[in-house]
Amino acid sequence: MKRTFALIFAAVAAAALFGGLVYVVLVAAHVSEPAATTVQGATPRRLWATAAAVLGLAGVVIGGLSVRRSAGHVGASSGRKGAIFALVAGLIAAVNGGLNLAVSSGGLGSGNGVVGGAAAVVLGVIAMVLNGLALTRSRSAD
């Protein structure tokens, strides 16, 4: 029971931290104010931002698995190839999210994908940090 509560609490705390980081990125990019008119549906920039965010999320997942493998918890493999792939994926996600924010002219709801771009930046940076840690651990284990 205590472990379940701790996992739920950690998930809620992580979601709150993620939301806060996305808001900080939106404020830093000066696009945190809602747009005067809201655009509904998928736009090319929203799809671009969503693809970048999904790539960043994949980098975070692979990075978490690589950190676990590099610590020697799963099998004998060091997970270096996965960590390198996910490090590049995180870099691509962060750059694309930053580019999306740089070219956007409106705020939330403008159809420019600013929330997805900010999420891609945050996820890309987290992926790069996790995979850098995994590569450092796997190098020191060899």
Per-residue pLDDT tens listing for the chain (142 residues): 778 878 788 888 888 888 888 888 878 877 777 777 777 888 888 899 999 999 999 999 988 888 777 655 545 455 677 788 888 999 999 999 999 988 887 777 777 888 888 999 999 999 999 888 888 877 665 5
Spatial separation of the C-alpha atoms in residues 25 and 6, rounded to whole Å: 28
Domain assignment of residue 109, given as a range: 2-141
**pTM: predicted TM-score of the whole model, two decimal places:** 0.81
Kindly state the tokens that stand for 137. Answer: 């651990």
Concatenated DSSP letters of the chain: -HHHHHHHHHHHHHHHHHHHHHHHHHHHTT--SBPSSPPPS--HHHHHHHHHHHHHHHHHHHHHHHHHHHTT-SSS---HHHHHHHHHHHHHHHHHHHHHHHH--S-BTSSS-HHHHHHHHHHHHHHHHHHHHHHHHHHHH-
Residue among 22, 44, 41 at smallest CA distance from 31: 22
